[in-house]
Amino acid sequence: MLNNIYKKIDELYPETVERRRYLHQYPELSFQEMKTAQYIADFYEELGIPYRTKVGGNGVIATLKGGKPGKTVGLRADFDALPIQDKKDVEYKSKVPGVMHACGHDGHTSTLLTLAKVMKEFQDELPGTIEFIHQHAEEQVPGGAIAIVESGALDHIDAIFGTHLWATTPLGKLQITRDVFMAGADRFEITIKGQGGHGAYPHETKDSIVIGAQLITELQQIVSRRIDPLETAVLSVGSFHAGDTFNVIADSAKIIGTVRYLNVSIQEQIIKEIEKIIKGVCVASEASYEFNYSKGYPPVVNHKEEALLVMDAAAKVDELHTIEEMKPSMGGEDFAYYLMKKPGAYFFTGANKEGHDYPHHHPKFDFDERAMPIAAKTLISAYFEFQNR
């Protein structure tokens, strides 16, 4: 049956591409994806597959119950976009100013919808039940996954699998880990409150820019000098803003950055170290501060058995010439919440578009659409592997 499913997925490739390009032209930001959710719901309505809307917010979950007994497995795709102006020169570029699918979620959605259409044809022969999980708001904390989990909509499933079309990985390569796959991703904001004044009389001020610059330098020593070298962590400052003109010393400065980690104990250590450094620098400079630390998505931790299962499943997909166990990615993903609740695995499906090497979240981001049927085949192959285990 699997070969017949693969053949049908290939037959629907033009439709998969057409659907993806439509979604690409009409992106919606996180927590605002009402029209996209309706598009997904209408698709399942037409197929005659039962579905639920407004799951945990704008989520849509469709349920295909097979004609044979078996387990219940969730397959997940996200569908929100990013606040980025699309600068690609293609006929399907975004028609919404300042919003684009710059991470492949349009491709994830079209892939899962195609798979649902194919599996509807094989429903009588299908063992178990597929839950097609269309998740909103992956790009913005607190994300849609945690709300879907907390809604109880997935309490009954036995496992969950998902993939990300990965534009920096060659087409035909699948990447996965047996444990930590992606990092926890947090955000911090520091406001330095000094005392402004004339640029000609710095001795009469408490220069928030100098204090902030010193602080940024000190923060970089957390990972290099205070964290065990065998642990993995990143602390990056992405924004440093103070002042408006050349001859005025700024009264305050704001620093915004991110922390990435694989081990929760390291996360807690970094939080404590950041505040110690802020306090020390500000006390020495007679300045005050505000420190806000927001914990984002926890690390994505694959379950070993399910990860091995995905590798076995991928070996059945002819288009995959390389199945690679990779080092963890320091990117973040709220698929983490599903794996904290249920067994499963998350993996990258190579989708690099030759000659178009723009990374995720770039204004010219795009991917090789031939990755979509590969992703669909791998997901359904993993489904059958789990049923047969």
**Confidence at 130, pLDDT banded by 50, 70, 90:** very high
**Confidence at 135, pLDDT banded by 50, 70, 90:** very high
Residues forming a β-bridge with 95: none
- Measured between alpha carbons, how far is 147 from 150 in angstroms, rounded to an integer? 5
108 is in an annotated binding site: no
Per-residue pLDDT tens digits for 337-382: 999 999 999 999 999 999 998 999 999 999 999 999 999 999 999 9
**Confidence at 138, pLDDT banded by 50, 70, 90:** very high
Q: What is the pLDDT of residue 51?
A: 98
Per-residue pLDDT tens digits for 44-78: 999 999 999 999 999 999 999 999 999 999 999 99
Helix, strand, coil distribution of the chain in percent, nearest 5: 35, 30, 35
- Measured between alpha carbons, how far is 104 from 203 in angstroms, rounded to an integer? 52
Catalytic, 324? Answer no
Kindly list the structural domains of the chain, giving each domain's residue range(s) and its CATH number in brackets, ordered by start: 2-182+299-388 (3.40.630.10), 184-297 (3.30.70.360)
**Confidence at 132, pLDDT banded by 50, 70, 90:** very high
* pLDDT, the chain, mean: 98
Residue 359 three-state SS: coil
105 is in an annotated binding site: yes
| Cα Rg of the chain, angstroms | 23
Per-residue pLDDT tens digits for 176-232: 999 999 999 999 999 999 999 999 999 999 999 999 999 999 999 999 999 999 999
Of 67, 32, 65, 111, give the one whose Cα is nearest residue 374.
Answer: 111
**Confidence at 108, pLDDT banded by 50, 70, 90:** very high
Q: What is the pLDDT of residue 237?
A: 98
Of 191, 164, 104, 127, give the one whose Cα is nearest residue 367.
Answer: 104
Q: Which residues contact 252 (CB under 8 A, 6 or more apart)?
A: 191, 192, 193, 194, 196, 208, 242
Q: What is the pLDDT of residue 44?
A: 98
Residue 63 three-state SS: strand
Residue 172 three-state SS: coil
Question: Among the options 80, 131, 186, 273, which is catalytic?
Answer: 80
| Residues above pLDDT 70, as percent of the chain | 100
- Measured between alpha carbons, how far is 33 from 242 in angstroms, rounded to an integer? 35
Phi, psi angles (nearest 5°) of residue 116: -65, -40
Pairing of strands 184-193, 252-261: antiparallel
Of 158, 136, 157, 132, give the one whose Cα is nearest residue 147.
Answer: 136
**Confidence at 387, pLDDT banded by 50, 70, 90:** very high
Q: Is the dihedral of CA 190, 195, 200, 202 positive or negative?
A: negative
139 is in an annotated binding site: yes
Question: Among the options 86, 138, 333, 334, which is catalytic?
Answer: 138
Q: What is the pLDDT of residue 4?
A: 98
Q: Which residues contact 223 (CB under 8 A, 6 or more apart)?
A: 233, 234, 235, 270
**Confidence at 173, pLDDT banded by 50, 70, 90:** very high
Catalytic, 275? Answer no
Per-residue pLDDT tens digits for 279-308: 999 999 999 999 999 999 999 999 999 999
